């Protein structure tokens, strides 16, 4: 029997959180090129508007945006109400839980409640809130996917990363649990866990300190947002009978957390 080689995303609704920059913005552009219809959410609405304009030029059949803070249940509910109204009776086919991030690189002894709470809210509770709200809209037995963005930090702990590592380990286990809970629905569930990728991630972690952020990637060739977007698109476009459970993706210059190859300065 001849099997479908890929899942067509043309005219399919794709919801992306954290779509104002980094992986989310790059994923929006990648899906736009397939002719998908985009629902974009993030806190920075001015940036969302620019991303939406870019995706329309890239081929998106629709690019709609609305403010979204996954750390607030009311914001999630308002976003999903917006999504329902715009989609009318159509189904959602792709949910990309991308919103998240790290705050600080403090030891447990020096850690601050506001940083801890921000990481748990966005990386763990945000994934749960958004998924809970989106599940009723996801197509059954029609190639739908939930794709969560994790991190190598969810698999390997490092000093100064206790809460971020815990949060991403939580995302990984949520993904695995959802995979079991949704068995039989035809909804696919997976996680993409990047290593060092040069986005705004480190700038946010170091609270705007550009020098520290640049130092993370100095001397090596890190992943880019486009690399991760291409991977997300590949996962979403597999035939409906194929579920990519987990992908761990690192730059060639990174063998593990803390084990990287840096070229000497010229």
Domain contains 5: no
Region 47-61 average pLDDT: 97
CA distance 224 to 196: 9
Domain contains 231: yes
CA distance 41 to 30: 16
Strand partners, 193: 248
Checking phi first, is residue 60 left (phi over 0); if not, alpha (psi -120 to 50) or beta?
beta
- The DSSP code for 125 is I
Cβ atoms of residues 137 and 83 within 8 Å: yes
Q: Which residues span the domain enclosing 106? A: 13-194+222-260
51 CB contacts (<8 Å, ≥6 apart)?
19, 20, 25, 28, 29, 40, 63, 65
Q: Output the pLDDT for position 210.
A: 79
pLDDT in tens, 216-259: 888 999 999 999 999 999 999 999 999 999 999 999 999 999 89
Q: Output the pLDDT for position 202.
A: 65
- Across the chain, what does the average pLDDT equal? 94
In which band, very low, low, confident or very high, does the pLDDT at 203 lie, cut at 50, 70 and 90? low
Strand 254-256 to 259-260 pairing? antiparallel
* Structure token pair of residue 86: 């715009």
**Of residues 129, 141, 168, 102, the one with CA closest to residue 17:** 129
Using the structure block, give the residue that is written with the tokens 């705050």. 103
Burial class (CB in 10 A: 0-12, 13-18, 19+), 67: middle
In which band, very low, low, confident or very high, does the pLDDT at 206 lie, cut at 50, 70 and 90? low
More confident residue, 209 or 15: 15
Domain contains 105: yes
Helix, strand, coil percentages (3-state) for the chain, rounded to 5, are: 40, 20, 40
Domain contains 211: no
Could you give the count of Cα atoms lying within 13 Å of 156 in the half-sphere of its Cβ?
10
Region 88-109 average pLDDT: 94
CA distance 76 to 195: 28
Residues belonging to the active site: 164
What percent of the chain shows pLDDT beyond 90?
Answer: 86
Region 2-16 average pLDDT: 89
Indicate if the pLDDT at residue 195 is higher than 80: yes
Q: Output the pLDDT for position 213.
A: 72
Domain contains 43: yes
What percent of the chain shows pLDDT beyond 70?
Answer: 95
Cβ atoms of residues 95 and 182 within 8 Å: no
Q: Output the pLDDT for position 69.
A: 97
Region 160-184 average pLDDT: 97
* Structure token pair of residue 228: 């991760």
Q: Output the pLDDT for position 254.
A: 96
Q: What is the domain count for the chain?
A: 1
Domain contains 110: yes
Domain contains 161: yes
Domain contains 126: yes
pLDDT in tens, 110-151: 999 999 999 999 999 999 999 999 999 999 999 999 999 999
The domain that contains 111 carries what CATH number? 3.40.50.720
């Amino acid at each position: 029997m001849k099997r479908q080689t890929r899942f067509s995303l043309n005219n399919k609704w794709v919801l992306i959180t954290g779509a104002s920059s980094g992986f989310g913005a790059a994923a929006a552009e990648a899906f736009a090129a397939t002719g998908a219809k985009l629902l974009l959410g993030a806190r920075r609405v001015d940036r969302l508007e620019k991303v939406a304009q870019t995706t329309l030029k890239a081929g998106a059949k629709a690019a709609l945006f609305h403010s979204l803070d996954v750390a607030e249940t009311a914001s999630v509910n308002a976003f999903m109400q917006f999504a329902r109204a715009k989609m009318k009776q159509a189904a959602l086919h792709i949910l990309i839980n991308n919103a998240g991030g790290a705050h600080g690189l403090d030891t447990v002894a020096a850690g601050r409640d506001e940083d801890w709470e921000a990481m748990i809210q966005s990386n763990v509770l945000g994934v749960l809130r958004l998924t809970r709200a989106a599940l009723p809209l996801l197509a059954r037995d029609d190639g739908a996917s939930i794709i969560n963005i994790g991190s190598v930090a969810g698999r390997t702990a490092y000093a100064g990363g206790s809460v971020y590592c815990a949060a991403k380990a939580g995302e990984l286990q949520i993904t695995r649990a959802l995979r079991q809970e949704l068995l039989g629905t035809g909804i696919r569930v997976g996680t993409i866990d990047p290593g060092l990728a040069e986005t705004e991630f480190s700038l946010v972690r170091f609270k705007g300190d550009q020098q520290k952020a640049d130092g993370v990637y100095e001397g090596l060739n890190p992943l880019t947002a486009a690399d991760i977007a291409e991977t997300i698109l590949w996962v979403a476009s597999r035939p409906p009978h194929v579920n990519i459970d987990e992908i761990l993706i690192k730059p060639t210059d990174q063998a593990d957390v803390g084990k990287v190859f840096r070229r000497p300065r010229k």
